[in-house]
Chains A and B, each alone.
Chain A
Amino acid sequence: MAPPRHRDRGFSRRIQYGLFFGYVAAGMGVVAGLALVLIARFDPVAFEGIRGLALDATTPFSAATRPIVRGGSSVAGDIGDYFNAASENRTLRAQLAVARRELIQARVLAFENARLKRTLKLVGDQTQPIAAARIVGSNLSGTRRFATLAAGGADGVAPGQPVRAADGLVGRIAEVGMHASRIVLLTDGGSAVPLRVVRTGEAALGEGRGEGAMEIHSTVVGGPGFRRGDLLVTSGVGGVYPADMPVAVVTGTSGEIATARPLAEPAKLDFALVLPQAPVPPPVAPPAGRKR
């Protein structure tokens, strides 16, 4: 095939100028695009209005088709359950007996805990959720890991608020529309959560890697380290996330760094709760007398 001749300028001044101004516009657009990215880097809440509007406009599509997809994906599991009913029944009965005993134990402990807190006059950190809503979609391509929640500014949701499901922490609100908002999942590359290992009480930091897992760094030098199966909860350090919320389970370790799987699996989530942001402690004052 011969080369296309559509960009042949010919002798028409009009066409030549048209092409030239097209390229000028494209070049200026590239510069403007880079400026937008820079603004997004240094002022993450810029363009919130237009991004929220786009979110509101696109969410109904995901929300309307979500039940169909959920129904379809659970059919295979339902058929399998039917054949394994007898053995599964036995296993579940055994598990239920164990769980019942542990539940009674936990109730006793919860009562004792409340009593001890009362005697110590600790201020309770019981917070009421701001909104409960359905998770309707997520980023299927691209490098960021977002999920879309069907609640927005009209329900009191604001950027920065933590989101949890029954199983544990899901993430943090990134941007808000009127009736929809975007959650930065724990596995997103931009997510970092201060954690505590339940077994040892060691402080750690959980960072997303852009795929299905989190990377856990110990913040203590020479600490006891991580072990497979360790439960990680939020430490509440630095505000934002309330303390003692289950987050992830360690699935593998290599030296000081561990990989963990979030407990609240976004793919299986139905509803999520938006919690008020834990108060952020005021920044530490710079040392007095320091010359700038």
Chain B
Amino acid sequence: MAIIESDLLGRPSPLRLQALPVATTLLGSCVNLLPFISTAPVLPPFGLLVALGWRLLRPELWAAWVALPLGLADDLITGTAPGSAMTLWTIAFLGIDMVDARPMWRDYWLDWWIATIAILFCSFGQWAFGYFVAGGGALWPIIPPTILAIFCFPPIARLCAALDRWRLAK
């Protein structure tokens, strides 16, 4: 644990500063590995939610390209076609960058709106990629987990904020 502790000047270690957001995003993707077996999608995409939580909380933390490896890892962990989450997450991050470039007032509700649009884009994009790669599959089964994901975002953002406080703590 020494490596993630603060140094003598009280600065958090660079590893903790950089690795914690990445590690929690990967853990979010790994929620999919819980040993329940289902015939319909039941869980929201936690990896995406955690990534959006960090991105909206700390805009300066990640450049847009960080979504590429994170999305690829999510693809490999969840077994979707490699490249699908990679593409969608990066487009979502670029979109958030474009929103950030506009000088406008930002608050909690606006962040939730941005996250909602990103979640909708990634969910329906995943469905479209799945349809393209494997063919078939109805659209409606993904609607309940998508709605759940939208309502899961505020608690996940809270979790990211709590982790961020520990991340930056002396």
Segment at the interface with B among A23-31, A83-91, A92-100, A105-113:
A23-31
A7 & B83 in contact (Cβ 8 Å cutoff):
no
Contact A137 B35 (CB under 8 A): yes
Interface residues on B, range: 35 or more
* B21 touches A (CB below 8 Å): no
* Other-chain residue from A1, A35, A137, A182 in contact with B34 (beta carbon distance below 8 A): A137
A66-B68 contact in complex given A143-B126, A143-B127, C-beta closer than 8 Å: no
**Which residue from chain B places its CB closest to the CB of A266 in the assembled complex?**
B37
Contact pick for A26, options B35, B59, B90, CB 8 Å = B90
B53 CB to nearest A CB, Å: 16
Q: Contact at B45–A142, with CB atoms within 8 Å? A: yes
Residues on the A chain within 8 Å of B40, using CB? 145, 187, 210-212
Main DSSP-derived SS at the B contact region: helix
B8 at the interface (CB under 8 A from A): no
A157 interface residue (CB < 8 Å to B): no
Interfacial chain A residues near B84, Cβ < 8 Å = 33, 37
User: Quick check: B134 and A33 within 8 Å, CB to CB?
Assistant: no
Do A189 and B135 touch (CB < 8 A)? yes
Do residues B37 and A29 form an inter-chain contact, with CB atoms below 8 A? Answer: no
Is the pair A22, B100 in contact by a Cβ cutoff of 8 Å? no
Q: If the complex has contacts A40-B82, A136-B35, are A190 and B135 also in contact, measured as CB distance less than 8 A? A: yes
How many residues in A have their beta carbons less than 8 Å from beta carbons of B? 70
3 tightest Cβ-Cβ pairs between the two chains A and B? A189-B137, A36-B83, A190-B134
List residues of chain A with CB under 8 Å of any chain B CB.
1-4, 6-7, 18-19, 22-23, 25-27, 29-30, 32-37, 39-41, 44, 47, 50-51, 54-55, 58, 61-63, 65-66, 69, 135-147, 175, 182, 185, 187-192, 207-212, 262, 265-267, 269
Known: A135-B37, A139-B79, A211-B138. 14 other contacts (CB 8 A): A1-B107, A7-B59, A26-B63, A29-B67, A41-B81, A142-B80, A143-B137, A145-B40, A146-B79, A147-B37, A208-B137, A266-B39, A267-B36, A269-B37
A-B contact pairs, 11 of them (CB 8 A): A3-B103, A4-B106, A6-B100, A18-B63, A29-B90, A40-B133, A62-B33, A142-B32, A191-B136, A210-B41, A210-B137
